[in-house]
Structure 1
């Protein structure tokens, strides 16, 4: 593994632009790529790569588990009489409340955090942010496990959302202090959270544990998050950890040699000193990635939380809840594979993935409406769901990899924190639309 590192010797943006020195940023990164010179630095680099993989895993784990448990949460805690009335009156086997309600509880706090955080997050030291992520993740598992009512359970899901949303914007910003290949490891870790979270919940419930006890087992994840950040990760001394900075700077003064080895003329252009006009200019340059990513996630989660529950095969031994868990696990398997693939191949045109995902959502919506999906057989549906996950994971990892490559070093931390709102916005919109769609189908007799 050869970590890419920004060449500290460049003196201006003209080194990267124009027809004359127009070697691409990617080519320049490849030319500058070199493993750390000393064995100790090499070991430190691998520790950081491992830490970012685990941070991605732990950050998304609670979010994934809550979505995997959505059908169980609503089925066991919703008023059973009302649920049975809906089920008996409808041609679909429905819960009274759509699983999209769990999705909204799992994503709206994240959306609020991501929209507002770029305005203030750089003033909060990283250790405080991560500590809050750990506490809220643990609280989410406790609350949902011991809840006796769906409203309380949704409050627990909200805590999972706070942990995941704050964690994502924190850890993506944190990548700016390290070699740029930590981005791919972070992304792979988030994909790992998908498959391991869904698979662990599926495995524990299939083994006979109740959903409540299965969630209690998940408390190991906040502990692993603590170890990954406070023990395994080796941050540079320039990282604001506990002390609230008076002047926020990303200049490295340690032997860690982070990504941002910018020349002195650029050192003042940090996120705390950047003007509103400069920030807006950066945001506009990111829209070519942010808009397609939002569309991908809109279609993706419309399928996951709007249609999965309605894609029910009644004439097999697997229960409705078990089928839903398998859908979630197979989707996350596709996400994990594609989020780990960026070192093998890269995709520049995210809009192609957006078109494919929208086409898939349309196909499944029509299939649910006209009942032709069972003719495809359950394995056929499983393959479609894996493909859906592959598209979503590829869109995520390639979006952030492209931004990491194309952003100026002094802009990268801000660019990463802004771009991560894209998937959350798409997910939130899909949840809002999935609820009336669910209600429409469940009212059909």
Structure 2
């Protein structure tokens, strides 16, 4: 136990960087592959565990609140606190990020929130627990993305982001599957067992994740995202604990060693160019995507297929209540595949095409809404309509996943350093830029959750107007 404590203490002390442990000649190829494998596994687990509780909460919505309570309140409590975290931390927090302390704090909040949900039966206490878990998830996501910027060269940083995105995609499938298996135990035991999952994060951080200085000896001729050579190599920073706990210094020395912190003016200057380049495409993708998932998909229901007319579909759909879970499964599967595109070796989207997924999503939203309201292929062609919707939702998931992984990959690969710039300031700028982007997707989800309710009501009303009553019996 003492050795574990010493290991964690050493990791906490390394937040500001330590002396390189690599030889001047660099790492051999097997050692490099081993390091990259550990890095990929670590960031995949970070993405998976950080997002899986969000999916479990949504999957358990029917079991967490009374039948008379709108299920949309679960979605709201599951996203609004995360939005607060993504808005507050990058824009309001100043100075260095203490990653170890922050992640231990996120773990404690997640575990506490899930335990509140499990141990209390009242609606308000459960909503409080969901809010705590949501806040922790939002803070965790931006922290892991910021952590990826500490790895150099850029190919290693991109490796981190790719695996993190893949993990977040896998969380959709893992969370739905876990609750499917645990729901038979009831809320108290099922959610209680889920509260163990966040402990994977500190274990991974302290014992699996390689420190950034491990990669400092890897020589690379990497270029930035737009093809321009990098202007500055990675510079190790002094140990932050040593700076904080150093002996008193004179007034003259304080000028050179004063801690660096970005001002609000500095942050706005960094964020302004990203509004249309990164934030707007990501915002639109999530706005369209979650409006489809929460407002349109519930109304995409058709008659239960018979074995004679539709042999394959009849083995999947046994009641009209099976359509919505199926659409969610199709969506989560394609999101996972597309978020894993970079880790699977596919090239990232060019920077000029980052808005393309949002444009495609907008067309898909319009077509699916039209299909729900009037039936493009006619109500008598259920098989063709089913295949048509299946295809569109698959493309929706692909676009959503591609937008997420490519936006964060591209900003991670941007050239941040300028010659002569203080390395600590450059590090904080990289961390702020990638952390500030998360505001866009959470805002899109929140607005979509507000639009989804009237959208579903109006589409159902349109179906009833043409004699299709399935949405009324769900």
> How far apart in 1 are the matches of 2:48 and 2:29?
29
Task: Say whether 1:283 aligns with 2:271.
Answer: yes
For residues 273-321 of structure 1, the C-alpha deviation after alignment (integer angstroms, 9 at most, x for no partner) is: 3344432232122221110110000000111222233334463664566
| Structure 2 residue 201 is matched with structure 1 residue 235 | no
Q: Bigger CA drift: 329-338 or 375-384?
A: 375-384
Map 1:21-420 onto structure 2 (within 5 A). 36-37=27-28, 40=31, 42-74=33-65, 77-79=66-68, 97=70, 99-118=71-90, 119-120=92-93, 122-178=95-151, 179-180=156-157, 181-202=159-180, 204=182, 210=186, 213-236=189-212, 254-257=213-216, 261-262=233-234, 272-287=260-275, 288-313=277-302, 315=304, 318=318, 322-342=322-342, 343-348=345-350, 349-370=353-374, 375=382, 376-378=384-386, 380-409=388-417, 410=426, 411-420=429-438
> Distance in 2 between the 1:364 and 1:147 partners?
40
C-alpha contact 1:65 1:201 (8 A) present in aligned 2: yes
In the alignment of these two chains, the number of paired residues is 371
Contiguous gaps of at least 5 residues in structure 2: 1-24, 219-231, 237-255, 306-316, 418-425, 465-474
> How far has the Cα of 1:173 moved from its partner?
0.6
Instruction: Call closer, same or farther: CA 1:144–1:303 in 2, change over 3 Å.
Output: farther
Please give the root-mean-square deviation of Cα atoms over the aligned residues, in Å.
3.3
- Select between 145-154 and 182-191 the one with higher mean Cα deviation: 145-154
**What TM-score, normalized to structure 1?**
0.73
- Are the counterparts in 1 of residues 291 and 448 from structure 2 also a CA contact under 8 Å? yes
Please give the secondary structure, in 2, of the residue aligned with 1:177: coil
CA distance in 1, matches of 2:33, 2:56: 35
Shift of 1:261: 4.0
Query: How far is 1:105 from its partner?
Result: 1.2
Return the alpha-carbon distance in structure 2 between the equivalents of residues 297 and 139 of structure 1: 29
Distance 1:420 1:404 in 2: 13
Compute the TM-score of the two structures, normalised by the length of structure 2: 0.69
Distance 1:258-1:111 versus aligned 2 partners, 3 A rule: farther
Larger Rg: 2
Structure 1 residues 178-215: Cα deviation after superposition (integer angstroms, max 9, x where no partner) = 1312111111111111222223334555xx55566543
Whether the 8 Å CA contact 1:202–1:326 is kept in 2: the answer is no
The DSSP-based 3-state class of the residue aligned with 1:302 is: helix
1:62 is displaced (CA, Å) by 0.8
Give me the whole-angstrom Cα distance separating, in 2, the residues matched to 1:308 and 1:148: 30
> Using a 3 Å threshold, how does the CA distance of structure 1 residues 125 and 112 change in structure 2: closer, same or farther?
same
Flag structure 1 segments of 5+ consecutive residues without an equivalent: 1-33, 80-95, 237-253
Q: How many angstroms does 1:103 deviate by?
A: 2.1
